[in-house]
Structure 1
Amino acid sequence: MLTSSALPRLWRVCGALAVATATMMGAMAAHLPDSSFAAGGRAMAHSAVDMQMWQGIALTVLGLTLRDCRTRLLLAGGCGLLLGMLLFCGGVYYTAFTGHHAAHIAPTGGSLLILSWLALAAGWAFRA
């Protein structure tokens, strides 16, 4: 079971992995032939790469700055960033390569990212 003190380490690891995979996806989006993408998919993939890169960096920094996270809002915010990034970017990548929309996966992930950033803001604002 993950404890509140283990979560920042998980966030650092996942953030670094997110940045590494965003770098790989960026290379793929830049170098794959147009036939590898759905219509408009290359631009979508670049957007997902940008979002994944920023969220991965943020998650890494969050993990570095919060050594022992006892505030529920900060815990929820960090976990939400991770899940929201996976859902949003995964859904956009899926659509970019297949042309099929993955139901509500990307919008759910995007909404979760927004709520997570709001939870982090509130957690920092009211932190003792």
Structure 2
Amino acid sequence: MALSVSAGGRCAYIQPIMPSTFSFPRLWRISGALLAASGTIVGALTAHLPDARFAEGGRAIAHNAMEVQMWHALALLALGVSLSQRPTRLIAAAGCGLLLGTLLFCGGVYYTALTGHHAAHVAPTGGSLLIISWCTLAVAWALRA
């Protein structure tokens, strides 16, 4: 919350940090659509780029990451469409975790597929975040009445 203090020392107004147009369901719908679009591009690239563009075994690795990306894009789209009201904190955390985990996991795997180098702990961190997010989502739905 941002506070504005008047000359008399009283709080004039409290303004939320996030704009009123922000919503997690909207973020997840937009992110899911963009992940699906970029996943389609990656699918085309893995099908049509010459082998020399990939590290050894990189084409199959990139294709597997693309499948993970597409499944999580669909999950984010479904989560965004199914929630018309404000999500609980657990659902918000799970949705954000799915988004960040997908970016980290797939980004790390794509980097490895193209360069042959491992991006430290990026992909394992993203994968762990995906697992935790799915479990968090299960708990959140179990707690919902």
Query: TM-score band (shorter)?
Result: over 0.9
Structure 1 portions without partners, runs of 5+: none
- In 2 relative to 1, CA 2–50 (structure 1 residues): closer, same or farther, beyond 3 Å? farther
The equivalent position to 1:44 in structure 2, one of 54, 61, 74, is 61
Which whole-Å CA distance do the structure 1 matches of 2:87 and 2:123 have between them? Answer: 29
- Cα deviations by residue, 1:58-89 (Å, 9 ceiling, x for unpaired): 00000000122341110110000000000000
Higher strand share: 2
User: What secondary structure, in the 3-state scheme, does the structure 1 residue paired with 2:128 have?
Assistant: helix
The equivalent position to 1:29 in structure 2, one of 43, 46, 62, is 46
Which whole-Å CA distance do the structure 2 matches of 1:70 and 1:30 have between them? Answer: 38
User: Deviation at 1:93?
Assistant: 0.3
Tell me which moved more, 26-35 or 62-71. 62-71
Which residue of structure 2 aligns with residue 12 of structure 1? 29
Structure 2 portions without partners, runs of 5+: 1-17
User: Deviation at 1:2?
Assistant: 6.2
Which residue of structure 1 aligns with residue 7 of structure 2? none
- In 2 relative to 1, CA 94–81 (structure 1 residues): closer, same or farther, beyond 3 Å? same
Which whole-Å CA distance do the structure 1 matches of 2:98 and 2:84 have between them? Answer: 17
Residue 124 of structure 2 is aligned to residue 124 of structure 1: no
Query: 4+ residue stretches of structure 1 with deviation over 6 A?
Result: none
Structure with greater Cα Rg:
2
Which whole-Å CA distance do the structure 2 matches of 1:88 and 1:20 have between them? Answer: 17
Letter in 1 for 2:74: I
- Cα deviations by residue, 1:12-46 (Å, 9 ceiling, x for unpaired): 00000100100000000010000000011001000
Higher RCO (C-alpha 8 Å, min separation 6): 1
Letter in 1 for 2:102: M
Which residue of structure 2 aligns with residue 106 of structure 1? 123
Determine what percentage of the aligned residue pairs are the same residue.
64
RMSD of aligned Cα (Å): 1.5
TM-score (norm 2): 0.85
